[in-house]
Amino acid sequence: MTEISRLHTSPRASMIVRHGDVIYLSGQVAQDADADVQEQTRSTLSRVEELLSEAGSSPSHILSATIYLRDIANDFAPMNEVWNAWVPDGQAPARACVQAHMARSALLVEISVIAAVITD
């Protein structure tokens, strides 16, 4: 049976769950919730990158991403500018982007990812 490991665990959730060669990150948000959507996206992606590295992966190994936006009509295009610059060329994951009520009203974006472990 494949082992499951969990990192940064609280009673409610784990930030990282690794099952075999697959890594699941919980939804990540910006450190500064007062920033605009582009800065919140940059901050969130930076945190995603840090957690992936800790778990043995990288942005080029992301299999799937789900992006939650508080206001998809106004924030989709500016968020995508940051996302497109961050995703490695030729390595775009499967992705969904939806509008959502956020846990805190100041949050504009939340991102969760599933990634493969680097095995090369």
Query: Domain boundaries in the chain?
Result: 4-116
Decide: 27 and 110 in contact? Cβ < 8 Å: yes
Q: Where are the alpha helices (DSSP H) in the chain?
A: 37-55, 72-86
For residue 68, the model assigns a pLDDT of 98
Hey, which CATH number is domain 4-116, 3.30.1330.40, 3.30.70.3420, 3.40.50.11540, 1.10.760.10? 3.30.1330.40
What proportion of the chain, given as a percentage, has pLDDT over 70? 98
Dihedral of the CA atoms 49, 9, 68, 76 (nearest 10)?
-20
- pLDDT (tens digit, 9 = 90+) per residue, 56-104? 999 999 999 999 999 999 999 999 999 999 999 999 999 999 999 999 9
